[in-house]
Amino acid sequence: MKLVVVESPAKAKTIEKYLGPGYRVLASYGHVRDLPPKDGSVDPDSGFAMEWETYADKARQLKAITDEAKKATSLILATDPDREGEAISWHVQEVLRKRKALPADVERVTFNAITKATVTEAMKHPRALDEDLIDAYRARRALDYLVGFTLSPVLWRKLPGAKSAGRVQSVALRLIVDREREIELFRAQEYWSVQALMESDGQEFLARLIRFKGEKVDRLSIGDEGTALAAKAAVEAGRFSVASVETRPLTRNPPPPFTTSTLQQEAARKLGFSASHTMRIAQALYEDGSITYMRTDGVQMAPEAVSAARKAVATRFDAGYVPDKPRHYETKAKNAQEAHEAIRPTDFSRDRAGSGDHARLYDLVFKRALASQMASARLERTTAELVDGTGQTALRATGQVVLFPGFLALYEEGRDDEQDEEARRLPRLREGDAPAKKKVIAEQHFTQPPPRYSEASLVKKMEELGIGRPSTYAAILQTLTDRGYVVLEKNRFLPEESGRLLTAFLERFFERYVSYDFTAHLEDELDDISGGRAQWQA
């Protein structure tokens, strides 16, 4: 009998059904042991030797695995296909070795989708445990322990009420606090906009003032009401005709299928999900066999998935929506073994899965993956300039027309900012036309401070800076909220006094630990270890 170990019981049940007799599949229920939170769990003077301790609540599970392992002819470690999954497999192996219950034959098997075809195919290609990935995990765990264990006791003494400081968590908190400081230092500047509502061929459009008294007008040029009213009067008095019309063709290509971080960003924008909620739902969809593995930096899809997507596009739309050649996306991830396939449906003929939030997230994954293999959208961007008889006052109207929607017929990426005026529709304008002027509007505005981070924009910023890894973002944001360092108000992060104090304290006495460059450099070094380019104890 062969013993297969996976993380979750739901997965264990499904996989045992796929593999049939001769296999026993058990779940480890996630990690089985960790470094105990006491002094001496990592010894830097003895080559970073680590004292691991099994979780008390995993005793029953580990006993079941041990009992089965003693009877098994071989052990197949089939935990998730990433750094954490590799670590869990290694921990299970080490626990069994200690208990003298490790079968002579140990294999590691990975698959990125829980379908019968994928699982049975993966079983034909076992490998050994990836020592480089395990070393990267150990280095990360030792670092986190040493940083947390060095800083936290100091905090407890010096900052009553501070819960803890973590290697990545403290840097994410600093981003939120820095943004709040920017907002507080911000001084609003008054400016005015002058726009005319025009009409041509029964269609209304807006044109904004770009020249007044022969001088160019920028967004902040008009700084007071007097000037604004004078400009408004000049537009009201002028007779405007179209001086030039410039039309530029424009092509928009579809975004690649989701990675972990782009899924978290888009689910926050479009569905209002928190990063941790998105990951919970995605995990369930993965275990249900609906989507591929949801922790990935990869943007490419397997060749058979690309073919299936192209076929589905042709069926849903028509051949004109299928590009001549399959689209190929490049992954930015440094390490091939961590660049799995993008998140996609396991079956492109299935456009629905689950109900409630599960169905909504699946719909997002399905549409994004399908759109990634669709034709580009063809648009036409038009800029029309209208000048009065004196040539001293000019207006500009911009807009775009969709000539062929391509992928936009199915999916448009969400944005963190508001739509710009480019996206408006314009009537067909020709040089010499004199559109009717309906009314002129002068509006007062004030420059806005930078916005507070939403979950989507914070995840994006952390990814840009190279802080943390997509698989850890959800947990980091959750920790900051749970520890009371930040609160979410109207879906934006607001630092609490304790969070601000902690950041100020760390910046003053432990500057290195909250430096963006230092943290990003550590992530690069961890990537080098998992890619086999560096030694973890060095």
Active site members: 293
Single-letter residue type at 496: E
- Residue 391, SS3 per DSSP: coil
- Residue 35, SS3 per DSSP: coil
Helical packing angle, 260-271 and 356-371, nearest 10°:
120
- Rounded Cα distance between 357 and 359, Å, is 5
- Rounded Cα distance between 223 and 236, Å, is 20
What six digits make up the tokens of 428?
Answer: 């067909």
DSSP string, 191-227: EEEEEEEEEETTEEEEEEEEEETTEE--TTS--SHHH
Distance, CA of 528 to chain centre: 22
Per DSSP (E only), the strands in 375-416 are 377-387, 394-404
Single out the residue of 296, 298, 301, 279 nearest to residue 361, CA to CA.
279
Exposure b/e, 113-149, CB count within 10 A at least 16 = b:
bbbeebbeebbeebeebbebbbbbbbbbbbbbbbbbb
DSSP string, 413-438: ---SSPPPGGGS------TT--PEEE
Handedness of CA 256, 261, 263, 267 (dihedral sign): negative
Element counts in the chain: helices (H) and strands (E) = 15, 17
Handedness of CA 18, 23, 24, 30 (dihedral sign): negative
Single-letter residue type at 247: T
Provide the edge-to-edge strand list for the sheet that holds 2-6.
23-27, 2-6, 74-77, 105-108
- Only one residue has tokens 């929607």, namely 405
